[in-house]
Amino acid sequence: MKIVLLGYMASGKSVVGKVLAKQLNCEFIDLDAYIELEEEKSISIIFSQKGEIYFRRKETEYLKEIFSEKENFILSLGGGTPCYGLNMEIVLKNSQSFYLQTSLNTLHSRLLKEKLNRPLVASIEPLKLKEFIAKHIFERTAFYDKANHIVSTDEQTIQQVVDSINIYLI
């Protein structure tokens, strides 16, 4: 069983993935954390030292590596992962994928609270954050919508989102 969770940052991919992996008794992998471990650098340092093109190339390489070397896992993608190269095609060919769809208002609220822990939005003024998120969602939705299943996370507990995913796995 190979399950991939995708969606915008703060949509709940990691927290839902951890709970789901525990319930299904399988490994949880966060792609960004996997990249950081393999590269021995944080994502923000990789971006600043080697640039986005290098990062995106490595992201695809490690995505392929996970699919070829591992079995029975829940994989949480970075928010932009499905939008680059052939990443979404790789996901669709090798797994059951779930788009954790979250509204602009919910994402904005969560990211305001988590701003300092999110390098991509840390430097964005609070008043411009909602516009930034809206632009990204507009650009990325066409990729996210290709997922095998779409699960709404708005006004749902973590367990309710996990239960919604489990319905598709039975």
What distance, in Å, lies between the first and last C-alpha atoms of the chain?
12
Q: Where are the alpha helices (DSSP H) in 26-152?
A: 31-39, 43-69, 87-94, 104-114, 126-144
Per-residue pLDDT tens digits for 28-45: 999 999 999 999 999 889
Report how far residue 96's alpha carbon sits from residue 86's, in angstroms, rounded to the nearest whole number: 16
Phi, psi of 157 (to 5 degrees): -75, 165
For residue 105, count other CB atoms closer than 10 A to its CB: 11
| Whole-number average pLDDT of the chain | 93
C-alpha distances out from residue 169 to 50, 129, 131, Å? 39, 36, 36
pTM, entire model: 0.93
What is the domain-level CATH number for residue 152? 3.40.50.300
| pLDDT above 70 (res 129) | yes
Which residue range(s) make up the domain with 135?
A: 2-169
Total number of domains constituting the chain: 1
The answer to whether residue 116 scores a pLDDT higher than 70 is no
Tell me how far apart the alpha carbons of residues 164 and 170 are, in angstroms, rounded to a whole number: 11
Q: At residue 92, does pLDDT exceed 80?
A: yes
Query: Does residue 151 have a pLDDT over 70?
Result: yes
Rounded to whole angstroms, the Cα distance separating 20 from 107 reads 21
Number of H helices, E strands in the chain: 7, 5
Place of tokens 């995708």: 6
Q: Are 151 and 101 in contact (CB under 8 A)?
A: yes
Residue carrying structure tokens 């390098």:
119
